[in-house]
Structure 1
Amino acid sequence: MLRGRRKQDGSATSVAVIGLGRFGGSLASELARSGTEVLGVDADEDTVQGLNGVLTHVVRADSTRQAALDQLGVADFDRVVVGIGSDIQASILTCSLLKRMGVRSIWAKAISEQHGLILEQLGIDHVIYPEADMGRRVAHLVRGSMLDYVEFDEDLVVAKTVAPREIVGKSLEESAVRRKHGITIVKIKGADGRWHSAGATSVVAEGDTLIVIGPVERTERFAALL
C-alpha cells in the first residue's frame, strides 16, 4: 500500500493522478519534476511502462474498483486528479468511489459541459475543462498581439505584451495607463532580462515586456497598441 504525506500548510506534497493520457500524463510528469510525490494509475500497460522511472510510483490498475484504490492507498494522498477523458463512465464511477472513500480534495477532467455537470453534482471540488480552456486562451493570442494570456475569471485576465510606443520613456504615473486604458501594469521586464515590480515611478523603455491585468476587452485593446 502506498502512503501520501500531508503538509500542514495546505500545499500538496503527494498527488495521485488517475488516467495518464495526454492530460494526466503531462500533469503527473510536471508534478514529479517539481518534486511532488506522484502516484500514477492507468488501465493501459503500455502507458504505465512509458512513465516508469518518471513518476514516483506508477501502477496498472482499474480505478473503477474500490478494492484497487484501497490497496493503492489513494485516499492518503493530499490530492487526487482524475484525468480520465475518453471513458466518461469510468471517470464518473472513479470520482464516485473517491467521494465515497472520503478523499478530501478531488480534481477531475471533463470533456463536455454535461460531463462536468455530473461531476459537479457528485460534489467534485474542482472540475477542469483543459481543451475548452486552452481553446479560449489560444483564440485570444491568435486574435490579438499578446505574448501570453491567462484568464482568472469571466472578465479578469493577466497578459504579457510588449510596451506600446505611447508610454515609452514615461513613468507609469505620467502615462496614466490605469486611467486611460483601465488596466494595471504589475511587472516590467527590461534590457537586463529580469522582471521588476511596477510602481508609479517606474519608467518604461522601448522593447520592455509588460505583465498587465484587467478586463478582457481593455487588456486586448492595450496589447494591440503600437
Structure 2
Amino acid sequence: MFDKMKSSAESYGVIGLGRFGTALVKTLAAAGKEVIAVDKDEAKVKAVRGYTDYAFVIDELNETSLKETGMQNCGTVTICIGEQIDISILTTMLVTKLGVPHVISKAASEVHGEVLKRLGAEVVYPEADMAVRIGKRLISGNLLDYIALGDGVEVRRITVGGRMLGKSVRTLDLRKVYGINIIAVEHGQQTNVEFSADYTFKEGDTVAVIGKVGKIDKFEREM
C-alpha cells in the first residue's frame, strides 16, 4: 500500500512523466504545492522523487491502482499521456470517475481533444500553445513574454519606449485610457511591485501589465 496524501483542493496529481509531466511536477513543487506523480517507468519516477514524497510506479493504470496513490484526494489532476491516445482516454475516464473536481488532459490532436472534452476534461495542446507563444514573440518585437489567464486576459511584459519615455505612471493613467493595469516595473535586475504613481519611465525599463488582450494590443500600437 502506498503512503497516501490526505485530501486537499490544493494538492495536484500528474499522470505520465514525460518532458511535459516532469516539468509540471517540478513547477508545482517549486511553488510549494503537494504533488502525486505516477508513471510506469521507474527511472522517470525516481527522477522526480527529489521534488515530491508522493512519486509512484504504476505498471497498469486502473481505478484500484490510482486510488492506492490517493489520486482521488487531489483538487486537480493532469493527464500527460497525449501520445498514447487510447491510454489517455481511458485514464481521463478513470480520473473523472474518481470524482476529481478539475481534470486536465494533454491532447495530441483536435479530434483527441474533442473526445477528452466530452469526458469532462479541460484540454491542453502543449505543442500548439508553445507555437502560439513563440509566434507572438516573433510578431511583436516589443513583446518579451506573456501569460494567458483565460477569458481573454493576459499578463504581458513590454519594453518601455516611444511615448512612454519620460512620462509618469500617473500621467499615462493606463487604467483610465486603456483599461489595463501596470503590476510591476523592471529595471536592470530589479523588479518593483510597489512603485509610486510618480515613477517616471526611462530607457531600459520593462513593465508587466494585465488586461484584456485587445486592450494591451492597442496600448502597444499607440505607444
Say yes or no: TM over 0.5. yes
DSSP-derived class of the 2:193 partner:
strand
Gaps of 5+ in 1: none
> Per the alignment, do residues 54 and 183 of structure 1 end up closer, same or farther by CA in structure 2, a change over 3 Å counting?
closer
RMSD: 2.8
Aligned mates of 1:211, 1:188 — CA distance in 2: 6
1:119 aligns with 2:120: no
Deviation of 1:105 after TM superposition, in Å, equals 2.6
- Residue 137 of structure 2 corresponds to 141
1:166 aligns with 2:166: no
- Residue 65 of structure 2 corresponds to 68
Q: Which one of 86, 103, 106 corresponds to residue 103 of structure 2?
A: 106
Aligned mates of 2:18, 2:49 — CA distance in 1: 14
Kept after mapping to 1: 8 A contact 2:4/2:68: no
Deviations 1:5-29 (A, max 9, x none): 345xx5x1x3221100011111112
- Residue 76 of structure 2 corresponds to 79
Amino acid at match of 1:3: K
Which structure shows the bigger proportion of residues in strand conformation? 2
Kept after mapping to 1: 8 A contact 2:5/2:54: no
Amino acid at match of 2:139: R
Deviations 1:46-102 (A, max 9, x none): 322333434312222145322211222221233322111110110110111112222
The TM-score with structure 1 as length reference comes to 0.81
Count of residues in correspondence between the two structures: 221
Identity %: 33
1:89 aligns with 2:86: yes
Kept after mapping to 2: 8 A contact 1:160/1:211: yes
Deviation of 1:119 after TM superposition, in Å, equals 1.2
